[in-house]
Amino acid sequence: MSEPRTTANDRKQSAADADGNTGPTRAPIGTPPPGPRGLPLVDSTLAFARKPLEFLSSMREYGDVARYEAFGREFVVVSDPGLVEEVVVARDDEFWRGEFEHEFGDLLDVEGLFFAEGERWRRQRLLLQNAFTPARIRSYADDMVVEAVRLVENWSDGEVVDIREAMSTLTLRALTRSLFDLELGDGRADRVRRWVHAMGAYSDSEFFGARAVLPTWIPSRAEREYRRATADVEALVEELVAERRGSEADGDDLLSLLATGEYPDGSRPTVEEITDQLQLFLLAGHETTATALTYACWLLAGTEDVWSRLEREVDAVCGDRDPTFADLSDLAVTEAVGREAMRLYPSLPFLQREPHEETVLAGYRIGPGTTVQLNMYGIHRDERWWADPDAFWPGRWVADGEDAEGDERSVLADPDDRPEYAFFPFGGGSRHCIGMRFAMTELQLSLATMVRRVDLERVTESIDPTPKISLDSGPVEMRVRKR
């Protein structure tokens, strides 16, 4: 029998029960955070819906904890790294993902690890983290390089490519190949690809597009296509699970782990749970990494000196062969490029939490039902922690780097003075990204593989990042020059 999917009400209860967090309600203390109180609700809603990043940045004028109302809800924006750490680490048990965050999972009818709470989340995380140990990541690395080579070898000299589309293809192939042992190109993988595209189109139109503001009861074409593709992927997963369970092979991929593994209590995931989990991993693991790679390529193409420094590093480390897992620790500049791209353009630009019950943060009262937005985008560009915060400057991450010498900016940016949560692209605490090592490995190996073979020139000169499933750049056209 499959476990029934949790409802909005029992999710909150489940998280609270599991953490033993159902004590007596505290007397209200603290004052409400400052914010644009005079602003009519509809104005904040429109300002947030039109330009969410600019809107959140504008909240800084009220302080590191600021309150506003939109979409008929109350929000509190947190722009201080110490307070972010307090919410996700020290006081983790006081918060859950919250209603607002769950609406997105409900729309797509996906729960999986990201949206599970309490004991249900804990047992899933314990099982699934076995697919992300350092040894497992090492075993996926060659597949990542094979897919990056395949992509770049298909480009011709002078061709203009949409890097966002190309990176999305690359990360989807790498993900299905390493985590599900499926090679895109065979008919089954195309079914997965169709489903991922249908999910993107559906969430764009319903959650981030006009239909979010003007809801309608008539299912859109995007919804009908998403439902059709979902039914098809569910049938595919059923086939795959039956095959894996029937085979002698002891696969080390995520799908095999789910099909043949056990929860800590000895029970096994049902086919419905496996489908749900695979859907969630496709959702969480593919656009996020593609986004980071897209911005990295675009930023690199705009800074010739960084690009040549990267080329020098990759040539010195790899010579005339492709990069491997063993090279990662020597590819410091490549890693710095990935980090700097995620600092400027974090794939998930703000994280959201809700307190189980009324609580106090930095002396301010935060009521139940309030969505706390951890302002990653704002903190990553805050001049209190970052010298020249809007500049793409990977040298800030490289100890004794070439451009640290004689660069005035390095004096302003002593990393030892920076709070840990001034940079948190993968979140933190118990709910930190389970795919962090996977993503960093893929970022480094893909960039190093590309840099060995091509230079990229910007055709799209400016971008307008918008938060969707991840921070969408829009199409990013670039001209390929073969090295």
Binding site for ligand HEM (CB under 6 A): 113-114, 125, 281, 284-285, 288-289, 292, 342, 347-348, 351, 425-427, 431, 433-435, 438-439
For the chain, the farthest-separated pair of C-alpha atoms sits apart, in whole angstroms, at 68
Please, which residue, 102 or 455, has the CB nearer to ligand HEM? 102
13: number of CA atoms within 13 Å, CB side?
A: 5
Kindly give the pairing relationship between strand 73-78 and strand 371-374. Answer: parallel
Helix locations, 129-162, DSSP H: 134-153
Q: How many CA atoms lie within 13 A of 448 on its CB side?
A: 35
Strands (E), 204-340: none
Shortest Å, Cβ 280 to ligand HEM: 6
Instruction: Tell the smallest beta-carbon distance from residue 2 to ligand HEM (Å).
Output: 20
Whether the Cβ atoms of residue 459 and residue 479 lie closer than 8 Å to each other:
yes
Residue 240 or 351 with smaller CB distance to ligand HEM? 351
207 three-class SS:
helix
Q: How many residues does the chain have?
A: 483
Asked whether the beta carbons of 59 and 68 are under 8 A apart, the reply is yes
CA–CA separation, 353 vs 361, rounded Å? 13
CA distances from 474 to 197, 216, 456, 461, 466 (A): 15, 26, 18, 12, 8
**For residues 367 and 74, is the Cβ–Cβ distance under 8 A?**
yes
Instruction: Check: CB of residue 477 under 8 Å from CB of residue 467.
Output: no
Our CB check for ligand HEM shows the closer of 421 and 426 to be 426
Contact 343, 336 (CB under 8 A): no
The least CB distance from residue 64 to ligand HEM, in Å, is 19
- Say how far apart CA 449 and CA 334 lie, in whole Å: 11
Distance of closest approach, residue 42 Cβ to ligand HEM, in angstroms: 28
Shortest distance in whole angstroms from residue 261 CB to ligand HEM: 16
Tokens representing 173? 């192939």
CB 297 within 8 A of CB 167: yes
Instruction: Give the nearer residue to ligand HEM in terms of CB position, either 121 or 225.
Output: 121
Whichever of 202 and 426 has its CB closer to ligand HEM, that residue is: 426
In this complex, which beta carbon is closest to ligand HEM, that of residue 359 or of residue 470?
Answer: 470
**Please, which residue, 294 or 359, has the CB nearer to ligand HEM?**
294
| Closest separation in Å from C-beta 132 to ligand HEM | 7
Question: Which of 440/480 has CB closer to ligand HEM?
Answer: 440
| Helix/strand/coil for 481 | strand
Q: What is the 3-state secondary structure (H, E, C) of 326-346?
A: HHHHHCHHHHHHHHHHHHHCC
Assigned token pair, 42: 């509809």
Q: Based on the number of CB atoms within 10 Å of its own CB, is 324 exposed (0-12), middle (13-18) or buried (19 or more)? A: middle
Q: How far is the CB of 300 from ligand HEM (least distance, A)?
A: 16
User: Quick one: which of 194, 203, 202, 205 has its CA closest to 231?
Assistant: 194
Q: Are strands 95-96 and 351-355 parallel, antiparallel or unpaired?
A: antiparallel
Residue number with CB closer to ligand HEM (258 or 292): 292
Could you tell me the smallest distance in angstroms from the CB atom of residue 269 to ligand HEM? 15
- Residue for token pair 């007596």: 24
Q: Is 202 or 281 the residue whose CB approaches ligand HEM more closely?
A: 281
Residue identified by tokens 């409802």 is 7
Report how far residue 47's alpha carbon sits from residue 63's, in angstroms, rounded to the nearest whole number: 19
Residue number with CB closer to ligand HEM (114 or 386): 114
Looking at the Cβ atoms of 45 and 288, the one nearer to ligand HEM is: 288
Q: Are 94 and 359 in contact (CB under 8 A)?
A: yes
Nearest-approach distance from CB 113 to ligand HEM, in angstroms? 4
Distance in Å, CB of 204 to ligand HEM, minimum: 19
* Minimum distance of ligand HEM from residue 217's CB (angstroms): 31
Query: Measured at CB, which residue is nearest to ligand HEM?
Result: 435
